[in-house]
Amino acid sequence: MDTIQITLPDGATREVARGTTPAEIATQISPRLAKEALVARTSGELIDLSRPLDHDTKLSILTAKDPDAVQVFRHSAAHLLAAAVLELYPNVKLGIGPPLENGFFYEFVRDEPFTPEDLEKIEAKMRELAEKNIPNERKLIPKPEAIELYRKSNQQFKCELVEEKAVEPMVSFYTTGKFIDFCRGPHIPSTGRIKAFKLMNVAGAYWKGDENNTQMQRIYGACFIEQKDLDDYLHKLEEAKRRDHRKLGTELDLFSIQDEAGPGLIFWHPKGGLIRKLMEDWLRDELLRRGYDLVFTPHIMRLDLWKTSGHANFYRENMFGPIEVEKADYQLKPMNCPGHILIFKSHLRSYRELPVRLAELGTVYRYERSGVLHGLLRVRGFTQDDAHIFCMPSQVEKEIQDCVEFAWEVLRVFGFSDYQVELSGGDMSRPQDYTGTPEEWKAAEDALKSTLDRMKVPYKSIPGEAAFYGPKIDVKLVDAIGRPWQLTTVQFDFNLPRRFNLEYVGEDGSRHMPLMVHRALWGSVERFFGVLIEHYAGAFPVWLAPIQATVLPVSGKFSEYAQSVTEKLKAAGLRVHLDDRNEKLQAKIRDAQLQKIPYMLIIGGKEAEAGTVSVRHRSQGDLGPRPLDQFIADLHTEIESKAI
């Protein structure tokens, strides 16, 4: 018998007849594997389970546990979508249909736009075709025949793809019932497994992403192997929508972006401004406690300074244009570093002064295309919680450790428990692309690594990802619904100290170049505030809440007592609001809930008589009556402990 040798992932080998398929081998291994199998991997290549094996090879049978197999599954779902659309709208022209991170899309040309009702119909058709368990079959067709086939069916975009992309004389196609696609594959064996999907929306896109080309309609779908995972994903999307900081920013009157002023520029309204003050107060106290010096630097500085720093060259695309004043060009600052360097250089430093840690809540302006701006998260003007540390090599590990510990404190105080750390290094196989010597890079990367190791912080190393001027640590915090946000950066810089000839007088009496580290914890006040809004869904902890308690008299009869309660709370330093509108109590409670005010103090006859307040919490509901002094003491404890 003509046999070939198959090597399985555990190293076991099998002799099988030439032409045996991965599906048959899966069945030999176990019925369960045969049932769960989606696709196979031979030496480096994904193939259909039905593809006959014709030579000795390694073979893995992939199930839902393998991310590549899940993408194949999603790609098959895109084919199912196209098949359903063709059944319902036989005249549509087909574009491409790749898998995506959580689903797929397929693009079509059709004169009428797809409506939400169309999507419902298409989804129902997809389910119908899925239930028929139609096989996804691979065919090899000679290229001219393939072009002819698409020409006859008026699929000019597919024709174009075959003409451009098909390199071999035989072209691979996949059919799902009547739908036939020029496609490298592989695919799952048939449509029956595709159950957990939902069509999400339609968006316009140009053919091949070129705006001179035909406008296509992309139908997007979410797709998972298990219904539970789809449900989780849809729930998370709903949550993200509910938490959207742009929506909450308006509803809670925290901030706005004004078209009259320009895109990407943030107006902090009184309530947002108050939260910012509390955030900044905490940060400045913490900076001083940790040995930083607070500085302020100008918002515009001579363009020449930015030439010295190099930003006028390598960062030009991110900068606003220069402003001419008395025949000299000035530049709106995109970064705080050169300003801090000028302060460092303002006198000759001795090693005794190091480390010098200069911190500034420094507002910078950067040009971002209007298309990428997004609420508070991507803006044109923002305030970095920036600092630059100038130190000796012997001090740097301690400084990095302090930065990481500071970042942990930020996470703790602002209520995040989960984080991810990444260490980006250089690729010293091309040292010409970097400023600084390979020895400097190695020492810096070693310092970052050994600090994280010593602190037992798990991290992911990403060699080659660092900017040209130095390696760095990034900390992403993970919010209440599991989304990671890149905020904290601790970054070495071998470029600026050279460009500005930074030096200090060492213990040996001679001049040395200090190490320079940029670091930001929040990243920017705006971005961090946006993340906080979404993390808390607008329900800020009491220490940050712009209004901590609202006093709600049940009727006008008790307004005098309500007034005195309000005064007493204010005198105790609490942020309190009296809602004495002539409204029903239920309406007042609803409004307070919508404003996410932590405590509602309900005042009626009993309370007025006993000198108490009936306490209602925004999430815990009714907490019963409490003496006013007791409530004040409790609230102070909650504020001081920064309880989440």
Piece of 175-183, 355-363, 482-490, 536-544 that binds Zn ion (CB under 5 A): 175-183
User: Catalytic annotation on 337?
Assistant: yes
Q: Which is nearer to Zn ion, 139 or 412 (by Cβ)?
A: 139
Using CB under 5 A, pick the residue from 59, 70, 82, 183 that binds Zn ion.
183
Catalytic choice (366, 519, 588, 616): 366
Q: What does the longest C-alpha to C-alpha distance in the chain come to?
A: 101
Q: Using an 8 Å Cβ cutoff, are 94 and 179 in contact?
A: no
| Active-site pick, 75, 271, 357, 518 | 518
Residues 320-349 within binding reach of Zn ion (CB under 5 A): 337
Active site residue 591: no
The interface region with Zn ion, picked from 135-143, 183-191, 434-442, 524-532 by CB under 5 A, is 183-191
Q: Phi and psi (nearest 5°) for 524?
A: -140, 155
- Whole-number Å distance between alpha carbons of 210 and 220: 19
Binding of Zn ion by 357 (CB under 5 A): no
Q: What CA–CA distance (Å, rounded) separates 366 from 378?
A: 10
Alpha helices per DSSP H over 414-553: 438-454, 496-499, 525-536
> Which amino acid belongs to residue 275?
I
- Identify the helix (H) or strand (E) that includes residue 137: strand 136-142
The verdict on whether 512 is a catalytic residue reads no
**Cβ atoms of 388 and 515 closer than 8 Å:** no
Reduced to 3 states (helix: H, G, I; strand: E, B; else coil), residue 368 is: coil
Residue 518 appears among annotated catalytic residues:
yes
What is the residue type of 422?
E
* Catalytic residue flag (residue 472): yes
Site residues for Zn ion, 105-164, by CB under 5 A, read none
DSSP β-ladder status, 179-182 and 170-176: antiparallel
Catalytic residue among 41, 472, 575, 596: 472
**Two structure tokens written together for 460:** 């992911």
Whether residue 496 contacts residue 340, with contact meaning beta carbons closer than 8 Å, is answered with no
Q: How far is the CB of 390 from Zn ion (least distance, A)?
A: 11
Q: Which stretch binds Zn ion (CB under 5 A): 24-32, 40-48, 438-446, 515-523?
A: 515-523
CA-CA distance, 131 to 146, in Å (whole number)? 29
- Length in residues, the chain: 644
Per the structure block, which two tokens stand in for 254? 């925290």
x-marked contacts with Zn ion along 223-242 as a string, rule CB under 5 A: --------------------
Residue entry with tokens 């989804």: 123
Ranked by CB distance to Zn ion, the top (closest) residue is 183
Least distance CB 516 / Zn ion (angstroms):
8
83 or 565: whose CB is closer to Zn ion?
A: 83
The site that binds Zn ion (CB under 5 A) totals a number of residues, namely: 4
What six digits make up the tokens of 410? 């930020």
Cβ-based nearer residue to Zn ion, 518 or 527: 518
Judged by beta carbon, residue 424 or residue 548, the one nearer Zn ion is 424
- Shortest distance (Å) from residue 334 CB to Zn ion: 10
| CB of 82 vs Zn ion, minimal distance in Å | 8
Euclidean distance between CA atoms 269 and 253, whole angstroms: 7
Please enumerate in sequence order all residues whose Cβ is within 8 A of that of 488, keeping only pairs 6 or more positions apart, or say none: 407, 410, 473, 474, 475, 477, 519, 520, 521, 522, 523
- Residue 539 is given by DSSP the state -
Let me know if 212 is exposed, middle or buried by CB neighbors in 10 A (0-12, 13-18, 19+).
exposed
Between 183 and 592, whose beta carbon lies closer to Zn ion? 183
388 classed as catalytic: yes
* 391 is annotated as an active-site residue: no
Q: How far is the CB of 386 from Zn ion (least distance, A)?
A: 6
What minimum distance in Å lies between the beta carbon of 97 and Zn ion?
6
- Of the listed 187, 311, 388, 588, which one is catalytic? 388
Sole window of 320-328, 451-459, 513-521, 541-549 interacting with Zn ion (rule: CB under 5 A): 513-521
Q: In angstroms, give the least distance from the CB of 174 to Zn ion.
A: 6
* C-beta of residue 445 within 8 angstroms of C-beta of residue 426: yes
Query: Phi, psi at residue 106, to the nearest 5°?
Result: -135, 145
Of the pair 490, 531, the CB lying nearest Zn ion is at: 490
Stretch that binds Zn ion, among 29-37, 221-229, 274-282, 510-518 (CB under 5 A): 510-518
Q: Pick the catalytic residue from 155, 217, 331, 384.
A: 384
Least distance from Zn ion to the Cβ atom of residue 310, Å: 12
Selected binder of Zn ion within 472, 518, 527, 596 (CB under 5 A)? 518
**Residue whose token pair is 């799902």:** 176
* Residues lying near Zn ion in the complex (CB under 5 A): 181, 183, 337, 518
User: What are the catalytic residues?
Assistant: 337, 366, 384, 386, 388, 472, 518
